[in-house]
Structure formats: C-alpha cells, structure tokens
Amino acid sequence: MIRHLSINNLMLIDKIEMDFGLGLCVLTGETGAGKSMILESLELLSGRRVKTNLRSDNGQKTVITALVEISKYIFIKKLLDQLDINAEDEIVIKRIIDNDGKSKAFINDNLVSLTTLKAITLNLFEIHSQFSEQGLLDNSTHISTLDDFGNYQSELKKLSETWLQWRTLEKEYIKERSRFEEIKNKREEFQIYYNELKNFEPKKGEFEKLDQKKKILQNSRKINENLNEIINNFIREDPPGIEKLFAKNLLMLNQIRELLDKTTINEIEKLNSMSFEASEICKTFENFLNQELDHSSLEQIDERVSDYKKLSQKHSIEPDLLETKLIEIKNKLLLSEESNLNIEKMGAKLKDIEKKYLDQSAIISNLRKENAELMDDKINSEFPELKLENARFQTVISDCESTEFGKDKVVFNIKTNPKSKMGEIKSISSGGELCRIALAIKVTAEQESVSTMVFDEVDSGIGGAVSTAVGERLKKLGKNRQVLVVTHSPQVASLGVHHFLVKKKLVNNITSIDVIKIDGHDKTKEIARMLSGKQITNEAIEAAKKLIES
C-alpha cells in the first residue's frame, strides 16, 4: 500500500505531497487539471522509461518518492534481502530524472536498475489505463489471476516445492556429469600414470637414502683415506693421539683434584665427558669404515635415483611426494567409478521427481480448466451492469515449457461486440472499456491480493446507474486493499473513502498543479460541481449530499 507520494518538478507539478490510506481513494478535478500527471508519476515509480514530455520547464530535476508498506509481501522482502537492501515493513522508492532525460532509481537509498525496480513494484501496484504496460496488458499476470480465483493454493505449493527439488537436483546432476566427463576424458592418462607409479613402488624417504648411498659408493676411496687418518689421530701412540692426550691430562688433573675449587672440579668432569664422547665418535668412524659396501649395487641405485628424478619431473613434484601422487591418482580412478554410479542414482531420482512434477502439473492444469469456466461465467455476468453487454470474456489455457507454475500458459481473450473475433485484452483500444473489463476481472477473481490498484478512465463514456455499478465494484475491491481511481463520475467519487481534488493554479502567470485532500462540505461541493458543472446550484448540493449519504 502506498502511504505517501511526493512529486517534484513533473511537467506542471512543482511540488505536491499526498498521504493515502486503505480503501477507495478518488482523484477528481476539471478536465485538464493534471490528474493524469499523478498517474504518470506512479508509472515512473513502476520502472517505465522516461518520456521526453514529462520534464518540467523550470530546469530542475524531477524527483518522485513513495513510501510503500510491504508488511504482507514476503516475496518482496526475500528479493530485497537477496539484493542486500535492508527493509522492514516499509520501503522508500525514489526515481530521479535529470535535465538530459537520464534517470536513476533508488530503493531505501540503494541504487537499483529499472529491471530490479520493475521486479519489486510488479506486485506492489497495478496500473490499469489505456497506455499502461502493467496489469492485464501483461499476459504473464493472467495465470496468477486465475490461480487467485481458484481454491487450490495447497496444490500450487506442492507444485512449487517439487519444481524447486527438480531444478536443484538437476543442477547437481549436471555438475556431477561434468565432473565425471572431465575425469573420464583423462581416465586413460590417469591409468597409465597409475600403472607406471604402481610398478615403480615409490616410498617416502627412499629417494634421500638412495641418493646418500650413491654418494658414499662413488666416494668410498676418499672416505676411507680420510677416516683412516682421522681414526689414527685418535688412537696413535707416538706422538700421542686424541685419546692418549685426554687420558694423560685427566690423570694429571685428578692428582690435584682435592686441591682445586668447586668450579674447576666441574670443568674436570666436563673434560672427562668429552673424553668419553671422543672415544664413542672414534668407534662410530671405525664402524662406518668397517661396513661392507656392495659396489656392484651402484648401477642399480643410480638407475632408481634417476627414475625417481624423471617421474618427479613428469608430475612436477618433489621425489619424496611420488607415493602421495600414486594415492591421489588411485583416488581419482575410484572417484570416476563412484561418480558413474552416483550419476545413475541421481538420474533415476531425477526421473522420479520429474514424473512427480508432471503429475502435479496435470492436477493443477485440470483445476485451472475447471476454474477458468467458472471464472469466465462470473466475469461475463458482471459486464452488463458495466455497460459492456456486448463483451465476451474467455480464458485460454495452452501448453508451455515447464515452469514453477506448471506447464500452462494462461491468456485472457475478449471481444467487445458480437461480430468481432476473440483477441488478447491488450488489443482493446478504449481506455474506459479496458478499465471496466479489468475491474470486472479483479472483483471476480482476486479476493486475496493486497496490491494497490490504479484505474484511469474507468468511467469514460458511462453515467447514471452504470457509474454507480462501477463505483460499487471499486468500493468492494477496496475492502481489503488500496484502490486509486481518477474519475469524472460523481457516483464513483461519492463512494471514495479518501478524496483528493486536483486543480490548476495561476501565480505570476505561471500555471502549476495543486492537490488537496477534501472531506465534509468540500467533498459535497466538489461532487456538486461534478453533477452540475461550473455553476454549483442548491439542487446540485442536495443531490451531492444524497449521493454521499446513500
């Protein structure tokens, strides 16, 4: 529901502010007073492109702002949340048009595209006029109108849930197939790599050991020479080696041990430990020197080290990671087999869900066909009282591609005289006829919808009892929602819960538009003007009072 509307610098409007409420809101005024400009502002807020003749002559930006209540619009709240736009129960929609005709749209001060603006406002308000692109002129809205008439919301919910399951699983299935195809295309390559590495049997740490052994075998002569000399330096008698020198010095120190201080005695102990460690080091050198080296294995070791290097370069990894690579390739081959089985299971489940969707779609389709006949009869019965006695309405249901709403395409067809052929509603040329047809459909079909409805020229070419019938239906439509009507009919205006008078004013030879909310005597006076013209008579005042009272 639109709570507040602000229009600045739109054609002849300098600045107007309007506070709306629930129920039937009527806008009246003399012909050419500027009522259509208010509808233009709502069209712009709904995302329509800017016409060149809409800009003000004062050279300032056009700014249109609306405060809209969205407490009952769960879908819109979700959409705003997806766009990271903070919103509670109200949003501010703004459209700014620069002097060069370029425009920007904002929702709660967040810049949005016209596409986003249209998506947000699509369910907020419908504009029914000859030149509007909204409402019944948009065939995509017809299916929801029929579904609103029918009492099968629980079935629609089942269909929507099944559709979501189907599409979610289908995405997973496509993703899994893509992954399988990627592995499948490389499976032969993976198998070659796996066989090669499996036959090689790489082991973590083996390359480093083999490389070290290879170096020892290749340099064994030099190693033996150096170690023999080093061991000799440890154990020789003359001149004394390292072990002899340690023993001699320790003997001399122990002879005077009792004469030394505690710190020096501690150093003697350290020297004693060093003597023991030196002996152990010498034994380690002797053990290394005495080990048997198999020089005949050098060729085998060299070959395996070389294979390690080739395979590591081939897979662009360190030699020590070849065992890990073998496990990784093995897992990919297993994954290929597992993925293939998974695809088969997903494919079978996908068929089951698709069948469930098609069955549910068939149920919905049958319900739509049954309710379409009932709705057509009720809408057609509304036409005579709306001076559309020659009109004939028909709902056409045909097959279409699968959607969240089933496999039905719903289009409303009509003809306005007996000799013409049925055609789509948007082919109707008369704005007044179009609005009355829309009124008949909305009153009949939409009982639960809460969107704001806007009607222009709804009373064009009618009067008397027909105008009263139109007014009664507009008031009925506004029982649980907001309805805005631009009208020249006193019968319609008298039924308005909120009444706005649109008039021109002349200040310093400059014409501008003003809007005043009226009630009481002012409302009676305006309806009297609508009854009698510029000269308001006492009889017109009395007639206006009777209209309002009745």
- pLDDT one-digit tens code per residue, 514-540: 899 999 999 999 999 988 877 888 888
- 436, 470 in Cβ contact below 8 A? yes
Nearest to 438 by CA among 462, 414, 410, 466: 414
- Cα 304 to Cα 73, 207, 297, 301: the distances in Å are 73, 8, 11, 5
Q: pLDDT tens digits for 142-196?
A: 998 899 898 898 999 999 999 999 999 999 888 888 877 777 767 778 888 889 9
Query: Are 19 and 73 spatial neighbours (Cβ–Cβ below 8 Å)?
Result: no
| Separation of alpha carbons 217 and 235, rounded Å | 26
- Specify whether the CB–CB gap between 335 and 175 falls below 8 A: no
- Taking alpha carbons only, the member of 193, 457, 145 closest to residue 326 is 193
Place of tokens 């013409």: 420
Instruction: State pTM to two decimals.
Output: 0.65
* The predicted structure's pLDDT at residue 464: 80
Residue 54: predicted pLDDT? 65
Q: Exposed, middle or buried by CB within 10 Å (0-12, 13-18, 19+), for 254? A: exposed
What is the distance between the alpha carbons of residues 417 and 423, in angstroms, rounded to a whole number?
12
Q: Estimate the crossing angle of helix 206-218 against helix 298-314, to 10 degrees.
A: 140
| Total number of domains constituting the chain | 2
pLDDT beyond 80 at 207: yes
Asked if pLDDT for residue 446 goes beyond 90, the answer is no
Each residue of 404-418: pLDDT tens digit?
A: 999 999 999 999 888
Residue 504, pLDDT above cutoff 90: no
**Which one is predicted more confidently, 435 or 523?**
523
The rounded percent of the chain whose pLDDT value lies above 90 is 32
The answer to whether residue 200 scores a pLDDT higher than 80 is yes
Structure tokens at 460: 């064009």
- End position of a domain, from candidates 311, 336, 361: 336
Report whether 104 contacts 67 (CB < 8 A): no
Which helix (DSSP H) or strand (DSSP E) does residue 510 occupy?
strand 510-518
State how far Cα 429 lies from the chain centre: 38
Please give the Cα distance from 520 to 541 (Å, whole number).
12
Whether pLDDT at 429 is above 70: no
What is the pairing mode between strands 423-424 and 510-518?
Answer: unpaired
Residue 356 included in any domain: no
Q: Domain for residue 213, yes or no?
A: yes
Helix or strand holding residue 110 (H, E): strand 110-112
For residue 14, the tally of other CB atoms under 10 A from its CB is 17
- Tell me the two tokens of residue 90: 């109200």
Q: Is residue 291 part of a domain?
A: yes
Q: Which of 301, 316, 336 is the last residue of a domain?
A: 336
The answer to whether the beta carbons of residues 137 and 425 sit under 8 Å apart is yes
Question: Which of the four pLDDT bands, split at 50, 70 and 90, describes residue 378?
Answer: very high
Confidence at residue 508, expressed as pLDDT on a 0 to 100 scale:
73
Q: What is the chain's mean pLDDT, rounded?
A: 87
Asked whether 87 and 106 are in contact (CB, 8 A), the reply is no
Please give the residue range of the domain that contains residue 237.
182-336
Question: On the CB side of 373, how many CA atoms lie within 13 Å of its CA?
Answer: 5
Percent helix, strand, coil in the chain, to 5, is: 60, 20, 25
Q: Distances in Å between the alpha carbon of 323 and those of 86, 198, 272?
A: 53, 9, 47
Asked whether residue 421 is domain-assigned, the answer is no
Integer Cα distance of 515 and 457 in angstroms: 19
What percent of the chain lies above the pLDDT cut of 70? 95
Q: Residue 203 domain-assigned?
A: yes
Other residues' Cβ atoms within 10 Å of the Cβ of residue 151: 11
Give a yes or no: residue 442 inside a domain: no
Lowest average pLDDT, out of 50-64, 301-315, 435-449, 513-527, goes to 50-64
How many alpha carbons fall within 13 Å on the CB side of residue 484? 27
Is it the case that residue 243 has pLDDT exceeding 60? yes
Q: Tell me: pLDDT of 131 over 70.
A: no
Instruction: Indicate whether 428 pLDDT > 80.
Output: no
Q: Which of 477, 459, 479, 317 is nearest to 28 (CA)?
A: 459
Question: Is 80 exceeded by the pLDDT of residue 511?
Answer: no
Task: Tell whether the model's pLDDT for residue 297 goes beyond 80.
Answer: no
Does some domain include residue 311? yes
How far the first Cα of the chain sits from its last, in Å, is 28
Residue 465's SS3 state is helix
What is the tens place of the pLDDT at every residue in 270-284? 999 998 999 899 998
Average pLDDT over residues 422-430: 77
Calpha distance 495→511 (Å, rounded): 30
Query: Residue 431's pLDDT is what?
Result: 67
b/e for 393-428, b at 16 or more Cβ within 10 A? bebebeeeeeeebbbbbbbbbbbbeeeeeeeebeeb
H-type alpha helices, 201-240: 206-218, 220-235
How far apart are alpha carbons 227 and 233 in whole angstroms? 10
Per-residue model confidence (pLDDT) at position 78: 87
Pair of tokens at residue 64: 């249109």
Within a domain: 397? no
Domain end marker among 267, 301, 336: 336
**Residue-wise pLDDT tens digits, 53-84:** 666 666 688 999 999 999 888 888 888 988 88
